[in-house]
Amino acid sequence: MKGLALYDLTWLKGQKKLLMILTALTILYLVTDGTMVLFLSVIFQMLLLRTLEWNLRAENSRFLFTLPFTRRQYVQEKYLFILGSTLVLTIGLYAVAIVCQRDKMLELSAMLGVIVLELLYFSAILIPMMIRLGSNMQVWLTVIVVVLASLTAVLIGSLQETVTQWLTVIQGNLPVVFGGMAVLGLVCLAVSMKVSEGILDREEL
């Protein structure tokens, strides 16, 4: 799997413009509002997901899957590379933000928890979808985001009082809620990995 990771890192080094934009945004957020800087991990996660599209293109997959690794190992490397890289970046951004915005430690810590959960759940959902849909994933992702945003807005509007009550309960039991969601996220990640293995096994590469 080391060779796969080096292959992905080579692709990532080629994304110089996007990496420069992320660096510029990091500096901007640190100067203006440190709590927003952690959201850059989400953008970085979306960038790393594109390695799947790149790997599974016909002209690339013909070479890639002649190398000495199984499809299961390929899936495992993708989860480790995408999730591991984004988690390392998140922790690094959090550390830098704490140094630059000492007065916002509480907000940054809360944001860190939210971003870690997002990385778990987004990886569990989007990696198998990317393997299955490939280059069409960008279109589907846009549709999914729009639908989820619309449903969320409708539900919050119609159930505003109920939502407020639930938020009060969550704030009073934050460690338990976060721990439960983290465990559920890890379970979803394990299931997602099995699903991804099954999808890739059925693909003709």
pLDDT tens for each residue of 36-61: 777 788 888 888 888 887 777 766 77
The one-letter code for the residue type at 157 is: G
pLDDT at 126 over 70: yes
Please, how many CA atoms are within 13 Å of residue 50, restricted to the half-sphere of its CB?
Answer: 11
Cα distances (angstroms) measured from residue 78 to each of 9, 100, 136, 166: 12, 33, 19, 36
The residue ranges of every structural domain in the chain are 2-202
pLDDT bracket for residue 1 (50, 70, 90): low
pLDDT bracket for residue 79 (50, 70, 90): very high
The pLDDT value recorded for residue 138 is 58
- Which carries the bigger pLDDT value, residue 87 or residue 37? 87
Give Cβ neighbours of residue 47 (< 8 Å, ≥ 6 apart). Answer: 12, 15, 18, 22
